Amino acid sequence: MTDVLVIGAGFCGLYAAIAASKRNARVTLVASGHGGLSISHGCIDVWSSSAPSRALSRLKKTHPYRLAGKDALNTALETLDLISHDADYPFIGTLSKPTILPTAFGAIHTTAYAPLSLAQTGIQKNIPISIASIAGLRDFFPTLLSKNLEMNGYTVRRTMQLPLPGPVPQRDLYATDIAQRFADSSNRERISRLWRPRLAGVDRLGLPAVLGLHHSQRVFRSVQDLLGVELFEIPTPPPSLPGLRLENMLSDTAIKMGVDIILGSPAAGRIDHSGKNKRVSGVSLQTAGGEQNLDAHSVILATGGLLHGGLVAGRNGNIVESVFNLPVEYAESHQEWLKPSPFDEQPYEKYGLLVNSRMQPIDLHGDPIFENLFAAGGIIAGADRQIEGSRQGIDIATAQRAVEAALE
């Protein structure tokens, strides 16, 4: 019997498991597969506007941030800061001033906290930068990137392609392939010797994020010293190293703290009918061999929204919650789910579970459906996290609140 059972291995679930473990709970995390971190930019978006703290206090009462409360967000950010320092993978930024970063396509990404290697220089309109791609790396185009940045008012001095030593690769390279080439210090020296002469006149260089998967902070510093220019990394299309580094940091921390992680087995909710109060007893896992029951005092659902498996849309226009079959708030008419432009606010993004301020899913009367079931992250209704730029902030604020309520 575990104290807290977390379902979902994305950013939200991993954070919830660590937060519960920090409060000395026995924690088990189950997930049918990895979460979305390896396709993420690896930053902590809290709110996209220029002054998040003011914007947050003006939100609707049903917005996940309002329900979780400011304290939960602050506690979570502090906890994350501690974890990242322990792991030598520091984040920089504040809630009062946004950090501006370029995307791989030259769009502007406004975030709150970003890994040092992405954000140590930031980009500023009056300081010219250079952008390089690496020979063989797929899906990274410096010309496209710089033209788009220039449209946004930034100055790009040079774009270039940097070669890799050794034989020509047999296929397109992923960011993870190049990171492997940077893992070894003598290899780093070889690459830097090849690059240095090509960097005449460059003092700020944006590279695709390929500088190491493990001990990436060390790799970043050493490459920067070897090249003698200020570097910043730009997250690539998947697999994205900043996301993977964040994933590794969180799962390593969770394992170190004694969280039992069960990956690869989908979970089905089990309801406890024995007592007077409505409670869940845990889940049944579909393992390789067969079903296995896991019992828990409390369960935290961190399974994500419609794009992540926590909510599943049926062919007949219904949306169901995938583990406990909880009631979901959504528009009955399929026509209303999507707006024509992908850049519009999307109604489906706001679909999800209605919860109270203890993060318990509630019914139409506002009563908790199960007293020991909590929800966190994208499965909660009421936020368009894409447009708001609030994805990771909501993940950790609601996870923090859910953990506190589960262990009350």
Partner 1 sequence: MIRDFLAADQCLKCNICTASCPVAKVTDLFLGPKAVGPQILRFRHPDYALPNVGEEWCSSCGTCSLVCPHDVPVAEMIARMKERPTRKVPWRDRIISRPEVIGRFASRITPLANSLLKSPRLRSALEKYLGISSKAILPALARTNFKKALREYYVRTPNRLEEISRLTVGYFHGCSTNYFEPRIGELAIAILERLGLYVFLPPQVCCGLPLQSNGLFDAARKLATQNIKYLEPFLRERIPIIGTSPSCTLAFKHNYRAILGIDTEESRLLANSTYDFFEFILHFMPDELFRIKFRGVAARALYHPPCQLRSHGIGTPALTILREIPELELEVSESACCGTAGTYGMKSERYEVAYSVGENLFRKAITMDADFIMSDSETCRWWISKHTNLPAYHPLEILARSMGIV
Burial class from Cβ neighbours inside 10 Å (0-12, 13-18, 19+) for residue 319 reads buried
Min separation Cβ 171 and partner 1, Å: 5
Return the number of the residue (207 or 285) whose C-beta is nearest partner 1.
285
Pairing label, strands 279-286, 291-301 = antiparallel
Q: Which stretch, 30-38, 187-195, 377-385, 389-397, contacts partner 1 (CB under 8 A)?
A: 30-38
Q: Which member of 69, 239, 327, 347 binds partner 1 (CB under 8 A)?
A: 239
Min separation Cβ 136 and partner 1, Å: 8
C-alpha closest to that of 190 among 215, 165, 217: 165
Min separation Cβ 52 and partner 1, Å: 29
Token pair of 126 as six digits: 């009056």
Q: Which member of 135, 151, 263, 312 binds partner 1 (CB under 8 A)?
A: 263
Q: Which member of 69, 169, 327, 347 binds partner 1 (CB under 8 A)?
A: 169
d(CA 247, CA 265): 19
The contact pattern for partner 1, residues 59-78, with x = CB under 8 A and - = no contact, is --------------------
For residue 85, how many other CB atoms are within 10 A of its CB?
Answer: 11
Return the number of the residue (196 or 214) whose C-beta is nearest partner 1.
214
d(CA 334, CA 337): 6
d(CA 197, CA 15): 43
Q: Which stretch, 72-80, 101-109, 152-160, 252-260, contacts partner 1 (CB under 8 A)?
A: 252-260
Q: Which stretch, 15-23, 220-228, 258-266, 365-373, contacts partner 1 (CB under 8 A)?
A: 258-266
Pairing label, strands 204-208, 129-134 = parallel
Return the number of the residue (241 or 375) whose C-beta is nearest partner 1.
241
Residue reference for tokens 């906290």 = 113
Q: Which member of 81, 203, 252, 272 binds partner 1 (CB under 8 A)?
A: 252
Listed in sequence order, the DSSP H helices in 92-240 are: 116-119, 142-151, 175-181, 185-195, 216-227
d(CA 234, CA 156): 14
Q: Is 28 in the site for partner 1 (CB under 8 A)?
A: yes
Q: Which stretch, 65-73, 96-104, 196-204, 245-253, contacts partner 1 (CB under 8 A)?
A: 245-253
Q: Which member of 261, 320, 331, 387 binds partner 1 (CB under 8 A)?
A: 261
Min separation Cβ 4 and partner 1, Å: 15
Q: Which member of 3, 39, 144, 272 binds partner 1 (CB under 8 A)?
A: 39
Q: Which member of 165, 258, 339, 344 binds partner 1 (CB under 8 A)?
A: 258
Min separation Cβ 263 and partner 1, Å: 6
Amino acid at 149: L
Residue 57 DSSP SS3: helix
Amino acid at 376: A
Burial class from Cβ neighbours inside 10 Å (0-12, 13-18, 19+) for residue 314 reads exposed
Backbone angles phi, psi at 311, to 5 degrees: -115, 140
Token pair of 408 as six digits: 């009350």
Return the number of the residue (212 or 368) whose C-beta is nearest partner 1.
212
Q: Is 163 in the site for partner 1 (CB under 8 A)?
A: no
Q: Which member of 176, 187, 284, 346 binds partner 1 (CB under 8 A)?
A: 176
HEC string for 236-254: CCCCCHHHHHHHHHHHHHH
**Residue 259 in contact with residue 22, Cβ under 8 Å?**
no
Return the number of the residue (29 or 123) whose C-beta is nearest partner 1.
29
Residues 282-341 interacting with partner 1 (rule: CB under 8 A): 285-290, 292, 308-309
Q: Is 58 in the site for partner 1 (CB under 8 A)?
A: no
Q: Which member of 3, 81, 177, 272 binds partner 1 (CB under 8 A)?
A: 177
Residue 22 DSSP SS3: helix
Return the number of the residue (192 or 303) whose C-beta is nearest partner 1.
303
Cα radius of gyration (the chain): 22
Enumerate binding residues for partner 1 (CB under 8 A).
28, 30, 32-36, 38-39, 169-171, 173-174, 176-177, 180, 214, 238-239, 244, 248, 251-252, 255-256, 258, 260-266, 285-290, 292, 308-309
